[in-house]
Structure 1
């Protein structure tokens, strides 16, 4: 009996040591596999970036990520740049900026997050060269085998300036900005066609040289663009597609509000024809329309006279609540860019193309 107990102790120690070394071996294999996967992924990422640059070069576009590095070992994979630029001489578009830091978890390569340092310089036909700066700017992109699922951009304390030959003139500021693009069936398994777009701007302040005459405003938008994702992913010129077949959208809500209580909200279906004219049905909610006119006039003084007749029409539909004029559920018809209130034509919009 005593001998059996004595014999069992070495066997137990041997068994424990065997399990220990097996565990060590598994950990080493996993670590080696993880290292191998990271370096393989980093190599593939560098190849894809080089291939993209070559395709752009073949199309006459110059693009580079200066100081490019692949970082994040061992659990993340990301591209870091000191500066970047993009120049398309055919379209006359140039974009240049400072550092970019991006990362994706090795086990979720389809979800990429990034952070960009300002300022950003943008030049495009028909626009004064712009200089955009911010305190924080973060973005994320999520893709699947069927394509884009979601893209988001969040920024704080944005400054937009005109940059004409080095002479910087402040145009406006925003306290916060959010932009989101969402596949029509983000959580589904089918290939989405529609695109859901949303925007939210807090305290958008147009600069008036310190006069203090233009107050900050808030703006939000939520719209579903029919076949918008398919259009964006097709690689074709979206404008050419719209010219050939038109487009449709469901406006869930667009809202504009001033600091002193003026507010406009609109929703409804819209159709853009091949002729570049807009049609549809809109339902409007307004708070203190006159304050909206006052804001428009502070930005563009002739707007007071231009909007005067419209304001007088709207007064017939308003009800005073707590000293505030309110209009709810006002129906407007858009017919080939003409804005109609019943049979009364309020305005005519310019053609989109």
Structure 2
């Protein structure tokens, strides 16, 4: 009996398109993403050039020996090699001299994430040298970390922050480097808090420093101190590209001013806080007053050298404009009317005399649970007056 042989079935061909389609879609997505990224980098480069043009109109010219754009696939990077920053007319003195300053760094790297291109973080690599354009450097700066961040489009920034860790600044004196400034950390923030970019903006600025020290200016600044300065600028018409002297002149013309909402300095056991409003005179000098409270007032007097102002024959340069050394002597004499003989003691001990005299002007109070004096710090044509005595002179702002 014969049995039928089993028939051989034709081979079945599997459907392979489900395997290739996802790969093809992934490839198309990669090509599309790459095209988008390269298009976006072109826009980033255009924004960078627009920012350069805006800064140049404000007297700040940025240039690179080589500029590279990278960061593919998820962010944008603009790397500026050997950058130079030329600063023209950024202060009243510079505006008058017409001599720009040039700062040279090692590198600036700016980074933006592709999902938030309006937030840019930049890193600065030192050292940096500063010179009057065409001259030998007169200062050198370095830091362990220096970076900045900006929110908003480059043409319409809403907030800018800068931070430097372990900054050190040296001056060149007769070709040799001499220490000038150092700190553990310095940070600066500025943002728009009122108005619109092109309609009377009000700017808020905060400057902080930790363990800062300044050498070669005044002995009182050489010991480390912590400082916070919080101010508002009122009176700007807009935030179009301008130099800072032009902005300050605009503030004066519009009747604006500088609101010092918080100022705090601590140096060892001495703490000073101040707040108030300052205006600008037609000549560009600060005018107004700050209400200051000082804990450790007795340490401030010898540190500033004010006791010399009350010694016999005090020089008029130590007193307020319009106040003669005779007026200062009369202030000491007035102590005799309170306690007979106190004026004579004051002349023998100028420091004690100054403290007693200023105590008549200020009021006893407390600051952070410590005994303190509340004193009015006045600004008259840029001169800083502590009572009847001139302790410093500020330069014009335009």
- The answer to whether TM tops 0.5 is yes
Report the CA distance between 1:191 and its aligned residue: 6.5
**Counterpart position of 1:117:** 125
The reply on whether 1:195 has 2:203 as its aligned counterpart is yes
Quote the Cα distance in structure 2 between the aligned partners of 1:266 and 1:108.
Answer: 39
Quote the Cα distance in structure 2 between the aligned partners of 1:61 and 1:182.
Answer: 19
Quote the Cα distance in structure 2 between the aligned partners of 1:279 and 1:32.
Answer: 63
Report the CA distance between 1:200 and its aligned residue: 0.6
CA deviations on 1:175-230 (whole Å, 9 max, x unpaired) are: 111111111159x999771111111111112347xx999421111100011145x5
CA deviations on 1:117-162 (whole Å, 9 max, x unpaired) are: 111111249x982111111111111114981111111111111101
**Over aligned residue pairs, what C-alpha RMSD do you find?**
4.4
**Counterpart position of 2:359:** 315
The reply on whether 1:95 has 2:103 as its aligned counterpart is yes
**Counterpart position of 1:251:** 260
Report the CA distance between 1:113 and its aligned residue: 0.4
CA contact (8 A) 1:75 1:106 kept: yes
Secondary structure in structure 2 of the residue aligned to 1:139: strand
**Counterpart position of 1:274:** 282
Quote the Cα distance in structure 1 between the aligned partners of 2:376 and 2:221.
Answer: 32
CA contact (8 A) 2:214 2:222 kept: yes
CA contact (8 A) 1:65 1:83 kept: yes
Secondary structure in structure 1 of the residue aligned to 2:301: helix
**Counterpart position of 1:327:** 373
Secondary structure in structure 1 of the residue aligned to 2:372: strand
Q: Which runs of 5+ in 2 are unaligned?
A: 1-11, 89-97, 312-317, 320-350
Which among 223, 227, 230 is matched to residue 215 of structure 1?
A: 223
Bigger shift: 195-204 or 88-97?
88-97
Quote the Cα distance in structure 2 between the aligned partners of 1:62 and 1:277.
Answer: 27
Quote the Cα distance in structure 1 between the aligned partners of 2:59 and 2:197.
Answer: 37
Report the CA distance between 1:68 and its aligned residue: 2.2
> Which protein, 1 or 2, shows the higher relative CO under an 8 Å CA cutoff with sep ≥ 6?
2
Equivalent pairs, count: 328
Alignment TM-score, normalising by the size of structure 1: 0.75
Bigger shift: 134-143 or 162-171?
162-171
CA deviations on 1:311-336 (whole Å, 9 max, x unpaired) are: 433334235899964125x4555555
CA shift in 2, pair 1:41/1:163, >3 Å: farther
Larger Rg: 2
Which among 232, 236, 243 is matched to residue 237 of structure 1?
A: 243
**Counterpart position of 2:33:** 34
CA contact (8 A) 1:128 1:164 kept: no
Report the CA distance between 1:67 and its aligned residue: 3.5
Quote the Cα distance in structure 1 between the aligned partners of 2:175 and 2:48.
Answer: 32
Report the CA distance between 1:237 and its aligned residue: 3.3
1:1-353 pair list within 5 angstroms = 24=23, 26-47=25-46, 63-87=62-86, 91-124=99-132, 129-144=138-153, 147-164=156-173, 166-185=175-194, 193-207=201-215, 214-228=222-236, 233-243=239-249, 246=252, 247-259=256-268, 261-297=269-305, 306=318, 311-316=355-360, 317-318=363-364, 325-328=371-374, 330-332=375-377, 334=379, 337=382, 345-347=388-390, 349-350=393-394, 352=396, 353=398
